[in-house]
Chain A
Amino acid sequence: MELLSFDRFAWAVSFFGHIALLLLLTMRGRARSFPLFTTYIASNIAKTVILYFILHDRPGDYSSAYWSMGVLDEALQFLVLLELALHVFRPTGVWAPDVWKTFAGLACASVIVALPLTWMAAPRSATLGRAFVLRGNFFSAALLSELFVAMLALSAVAGLPWKTHVARIAQGLGVYSMVCVAIDIVSRYLGNDDHAYKVLSHIRIGTYLACEGYWIVTLWQEAPAPRELPESMLTQIYALQRQVEYDLAKIRDWRRF
């Protein structure tokens, strides 16, 4: 399999970018907060190394290896999104009771919307296996985009703020997924045009590299420092919490008639 010069360039940039990102996540202590995102980045490094050796030693297997690893890549992207959802919707360590059912409902609705769209998307491919993977890619990109938007909407309505780094990771992943959906739509519209397919593929790779750069810059920066509360104030706040909790329990129990 012959790689174009842009592909080689993108491969190298992506590889070293992932290494920089992994070092950054480890050294700045972000890996503790985002173990699944760190795993995703580490898996990308491993994938690049493995594919490099396959390309040199068994070039005939490169294509199937590339598509197989894409499945792992997408599974990890879903896990990263779940990790981000846990950060946003479990502010005190347990699921916020007012969002859990809505989030589950939105996730189900997202699957219901993404499935018929995927069924309608007949990708250009010579083999059945590759067509299956391409459909899977489209489904995954559509679902990730929907879940990203659902998280944005639900957190805004419920008043749950995003921590800085959670928001940055989600933005990168969300924008990349939406660009992938847009590329799939254009690709399907243009049909069997090899030149257009290559251009679109380069746009997708370029977008991913931009997201990688965005993650490197934003995850390197520290989140804005919280403002300190005096100890006495904190005690009062906890007293208030107990009082409000007690009141609510009473109100939920009483019956007017």
Chain B
Amino acid sequence: MNKFYFVAFAVVFLAALIGLATYYTMRARRSAGATWEGLLTRLVWVDRERIAAIALDAVGESGEPRSDEEAFHLDSSTIWTLLGGLEGLEALEQNCGVLIELAAYLQRWHPEALPVAEQLRLSAREIEWHVGRLKGAAQTGKLQPAFGDYAQRAVVTYYLMTRHVLELYDRAGFAGLAELQRAL
């Protein structure tokens, strides 16, 4: 009996490992073979003006947190509407996934730019984390208390990071800037 259980568990264990290894190897291969243009096509369009409106409620043009009386004027429901609800959050999440891959692309092909690629990757992961918290809160029906803080924080991070990326590509004269501006 013990033999039967061992073989059954071990076969399931091994099959799971092989399945996971195959899935993640394929995913890593796709990522390694990705081109700059290919990554751009995976970005989902987001309304940058609305993103800016949410972000600039909390930070100034320079990126410094605002301390004036008009700061943090948007309430949770306005942020929710401007963001486009859960769909808007998912669009941000998907774009963060692409930004993580863009950082990996930079890390893979331009190792001298490793520190900045790592910083971009961490920023994108941080937004993913905030969005994950919000989605979790939405699923458990506790969105309201968490939304204002996490959503605006995620949007500010996204806004500032994408603005810097756009500036960088503008200054460097990289191809694909127009597509990137449209998508981000």
Contacts and interface: CB of A to CB of B under 8 A. Distances in A.
Interface of A: 91-92, 96-98, 113, 117, 120-122, 142, 145-146, 148-149, 152-153, 155-156, 158-162, 174, 178, 181-182, 184-185, 188-189, 191, 226-227, 229, 233-234, 236-238, 240-241, 243-248, 250-251, 253-257
Contacts, number: 166
Interface of B: 2-3, 5-7, 9-11, 13-14, 17-18, 20-21, 24-25, 27-28, 31-32, 58-59, 63-65, 72, 100-101, 103-104, 107-126, 148-149, 152-153, 156-157, 160-161, 164-165, 167-168, 171-172
B164 A142 contact: no
B171 to A, nearest CB: 5
B168 to A, nearest CB: 5
A185 B14 contact: yes
Most chain A CB neighbours (cut-off 10 Å) among B9, B18, B24: B24
B32 A226 contact: no
Nearest to A167: B28
Nearest to A138: B10
A155 B28 contact: yes
Given A240-B168, A241-B115, A189 B7 contact: yes
Contacts of A174: 21
Given A120-B5, A122-B2, A240-B167, 15 more contacts: A92-B118, A120-B2, A120-B9, A121-B10, A156-B31, A181-B17, A188-B3, A234-B113, A240-B165, A243-B164, A244-B120, A247-B161, A248-B123, A251-B156, A254-B58
Chain A at the B interface: SS class: helix
Contact of A117 (B9, B31, B64, B126): B9
Contact of B72 (A158, A181, A191, A257): A257
Contact of B6 (A96, A117, A227, A247): A117
Given A96-B122, A256-B149, A233 B172 contact: yes
A152 B101 contact: no
B32 A161 contact: yes
B11 A185 contact: yes
A85 to B, nearest CB: 15
A1 to B, nearest CB: 29
B129 to A, nearest CB: 8
B143 to A, nearest CB: 15
A252 to B, nearest CB: 8
Contacts of B161: 244, 247
B118 A91 contact: yes
A181 B14 contact: yes
Contacts of B118: 91-92, 96
A163 B28 CA distance: 12
Question: 9 closest pairs, A vs B, by CB?
Answer: A159-B100, A241-B116, A120-B6, A152-B24, A254-B65, A185-B10, A247-B160, A159-B104, A237-B116
Most chain A CB neighbours (cut-off 10 Å) among B124, B161, B165: B161
Most chain B CB neighbours (cut-off 10 Å) among A152, A243, A253, A256: A256
Contacts of B28: 152, 155-156, 161-162
5 contacts: A149-B24, A188-B6, A238-B116, A247-B157, A254-B58
Nearest to A231: B112
B77 to A, nearest CB: 14
B84 to A, nearest CB: 20
A133 B2 CA distance: 20
A237 to B, nearest CB: 5
Contact of B113 (A229, A248, A257): A229
A148 B21 CA distance: 8
B130 to A, nearest CB: 10
Nearest to B55: A251
Contacts of A237: 113, 116, 168
B112 A234 contact: yes
Contacts of A185: 6-7, 10-11, 14
A146 B21 CA distance: 9
